[in-house]
Structures are given as C-alpha cells and as structure tokens.
Amino acid sequence: SAIEAKKPKLPETNIHVGGSRTLSVKCEKYDRPFPYFRKPTETGRFSQDHERNFHHDRRQLRYYIKPTKSDPCFDLRQGYTSRIRKDESVKEYLDDMLRWVMMNKEKFMLQSDKNQLDAKEGIDSLHTDFVCWRGLLTRLMCTPYENKDDWKIAVTKFRGTYFLCEFETERKKQREEQMTQQQDEMSYWGWKFEQYVTADKPNGRPDTDRPVNNNEGFCSVVRSRLHSHSLVFGGEVDGVDSSIPGDNKYLELKTSRIMQARRQEQNFRRFKLIKWWAQSFLLGITKIIAGFRDDDGIVHSLEEYQTQKIPSLTKDIHNPWQPNVCFNFLEQVLGFIKETVTTDDPKMVHLLTWSPGKDLECRCLGRDSSYVFLPDWFLHWEGW
C-alpha cells in the first residue's frame, strides 16, 4: 500500500515580469518520502484501427505469445519497406481521450447525481483535476533526470478540470527532419518486435507476414490520485498476458540493444530503465518484456522485468534516479499548475516548457493562441 506523506510544501516559485512563473527541477528538492499515489485502476478502454479511427472497444487488444526458443532469432528488419506508417503530421491532441470521456459520462458523475433518475441532465464538471495522456506524465516524472529532450505542454482549465496536451518542440522537429534512413529503420524495430510476440487471440499464432501498421493501438484509461490531485489518463498497452498475477494483466514490450560493456549496462539502467519504469508504473502494468537485439536487428534473448523491482536495479550505479523524486516532482508540477492557471476558459492556454539545465517555466499565452487544443465538439457536448 502507498505511504501517506506529510503535506508536501511547494518550493518557492518566482513571479517574473511578463507573468511567467518558474519551478525548480533540482532532484535534491524532491528527495522526500514517496507521496500518496493511489494504485491506478482501469476505468475504460478504446482502440484505434488501421486508419487511426476511434472505437469504443477492445478490438485492437493483443495477446502475448511467449516464444518457444530461448534464442528466437527474430529479424526486426523484416517488412520495413512494406510497413504502413502513421501520419505524424496529423496532430491528435487529446481528441481520442475526449471522445472516450464523452462516451463515459456516468463515470464522471457524482454518486448523488447518478441516484437521481434525471441523469439525462447535463454535468457541470468532470469532478477530476487532470485529464491527459500517460506519456505526458511519464515525461514530467522523468524530467529531474533528463538531459536531452526538452518538452512543451499546453494547459487549459475548463469546467474545473485541467486538460494537459503536449506539443512538439522545435528541437524535436529538427531531430525528426535530420533522422537518417538507418535511424528511421531502427524506430520500426520496436513495432516489429511487438508483432513477433503477440496475436489477436489468446494462444493464437503471431502473424509476421502482415505489414506492420502503427496506426493500430489499444489504450487503457485509468483513474488515480497523486496526493491532492485526481487524475484520469489514457495510455497505449502492448498486450495482455493471462499468466500475470493480480488484476492488471497488461504487459509492456520493449526492445534494447544487447549489452556487453559495463558502461552500456550502466547507461541502460540510468537512462532507459527510468522511462520503462515510469511508463508502466503509471498504468499499473506490473510486467515488462524486453527483446535484446544485435546491431543487425536480430533479437537473441528475452528478459522479463517486474516493474516494481526496477528501481532496485539502479543500486550499483553512481547517483541513481529515485522513484520518490519522480513522484514528488510530478506532484509539485501539478500543484504548480493549479496555482498558476486559475482562469477557467477553454480558449485560454498557459504554456509549460522545460529544457535541459533550466527551470520549468509557465507562461500565459492568453486567449486564441495557436496552442488552443480543446475542440469545439467537446466544448459544445450535449452532455454538459
């Protein structure tokens, strides 16, 4: 069970001319006991099909099929030229999460309202502090230890709920444009690995002849609470494995390069495991299966990780990342957002930005900036 921490106090925030405020990202400031984090429980799910269309069902859920050989020799290069690529130029914002919210109004109603027979009445609010994607929370949690990727998050308060939406940074766009053929091929390998170890039915046969299409996805939507912040967020799930004990039978699949030198092993623990841990922990996923590949994209071994045990694997590295720091930082960022963004207006955006070596900054963009992300069909929902 989670540990109830003393009421965390907010580190000093500085008011800047121009209305922007900052929050420190220094690890030392967040090295306090783990804050209360309620075990995430699944409240819903949805699928995205081969054309990225939303479906309020499990049609894209995959089932884990354990390989029979200890060296499976999966060739992740297979099928690269016939892959079907998700169009990354189409911005998805929070749209599929909002679609899910609209189809699950009753999950946001107070018990007292549900008891009333006139549940046809609109709801005033979602009775939830934050709605976002899991990936955004992963990114926030890992920030105290991040030294490469900057980020940019738009915040809008609407009907009492803070909606958070990540935008691509200039640096990320440049990196994407400069991506070599080799790098692009390697970013396909993770998807191909998923195909080798999953099927569309339990005990089915993986079909590795079909082109890989990364439009397809299955998302789990969870409810949780971090200290005083209630959260509803969705995240992609790679598959289900009925042999996993407990009520969450989802698993996360990963690939990584086979490690030889001690240095590689340390970098893996310092920079990769933190992300694997944060991503899975947030959805309550207890098991991660990693395929270790060589430079030619051949997977030679599989390794299972218990999400819960990952933090202990950093013991032998100098100055390791700490899960309590990640969660205290996330808790403080959410509190900082609540303090800074007070105007309830769907056309108003505050931009939260961070880049390596800097403090986190929150700037008010006012109304009708290019970052407005809540669509009119959500604002004018008949459920309100």
Binding site for Mg ion (CB under 5 A): 236, 238, 253
Report the alpha-carbon distance of residue 103 to residue 349 in Å, rounded: 25
By CB under 6 A, name the one of 254, 269, 287, 350 that touches ligand A3P.
Answer: 254
Provide CB contacts within 8 A for 183, sequence distance 6+: none
- Residue 255: which of Mg ion, ligand A3P, none does it interact with, CB under 5 to 8 A by kind? ligand A3P
The side-by-side arrangement of strands in the sheet containing 217-226 is 14-15, 21-23, 360-367, 348-354, 151-158, 161-167, 130-133, 229-236, 217-226, 41-48, 54-55
- Residue 125: which of Mg ion, ligand A3P, none does it interact with, CB under 5 to 8 A by kind? none
Report the alpha-carbon distance of residue 226 to residue 291 in Å, rounded: 32
By CB under 6 A, name the one of 13, 48, 195, 255 that touches ligand A3P.
Answer: 255
Nearer to ligand A3P by Cβ, of 253 and 348: the residue is: 253
Do residues 280 and 252 touch, judged by C-beta distance below 8 A?
Answer: yes
For the CB of residue 15, give the shortest distance to ligand A3P in the complex, in Å. Answer: 34
Q: Which two tokens stand for residue 224?
A: 């949780």
Nearer to Mg ion by Cβ, of 141 and 251: the residue is: 251
Report the alpha-carbon distance of residue 314 to residue 164 in Å, rounded: 31
By CB under 6 A, name the one of 162, 191, 196, 281 that touches ligand A3P.
Answer: 191
Q: Which two tokens stand for residue 156?
A: 């809008």
Nearer to ligand A3P by Cβ, of 42 and 149: the residue is: 149
Nearer to ligand A3P by Cβ, of 74 and 327: the residue is: 74
Nearer to ligand A3P by Cβ, of 114 and 175: the residue is: 175
Nearer to ligand A3P by Cβ, of 157 and 192: the residue is: 192
By CB under 6 A, name the one of 146, 216, 238, 241 that touches ligand A3P.
Answer: 238
Nearer to ligand A3P by Cβ, of 187 and 312: the residue is: 187
Do residues 253 and 197 touch, judged by C-beta distance below 8 A?
Answer: yes
If binding is defined by CB under 6 A, does position 281 make contact with ligand A3P? Answer: no
The residue range among 4-12, 183-191, 341-349, 356-364 that interacts with ligand A3P, by the rule CB under 6 A, is 183-191
The residue range among 44-52, 115-123, 190-198, 243-251 that interacts with ligand A3P, by the rule CB under 6 A, is 190-198
Short-list 172, 201, 216, 165, CA closest to 365: 165
Do residues 73 and 299 touch, judged by C-beta distance below 8 A?
Answer: yes
The residue range among 84-92, 187-195, 344-352, 359-367 that interacts with ligand A3P, by the rule CB under 6 A, is 187-195
Nearer to ligand A3P by Cβ, of 238 and 241: the residue is: 238
Short-list 329, 370, 371, 13, CA closest to 163: 371
For the CB of residue 329, give the shortest distance to Mg ion in the complex, in Å. Answer: 24
For the CB of residue 251, give the shortest distance to Mg ion in the complex, in Å. Answer: 9
Do residues 384 and 378 touch, judged by C-beta distance below 8 A?
Answer: no
Report the alpha-carbon distance of residue 67 to residue 382 in Å, rounded: 49
- Residue 37: which of ligand A3P, Mg ion, none does it interact with, CB under 5 to 8 A by kind? none
Report the alpha-carbon distance of residue 271 to residue 253 in Å, rounded: 17
Which positions touch ligand A3P (CB under 6 A)?
187, 189-191, 193, 238, 254-255
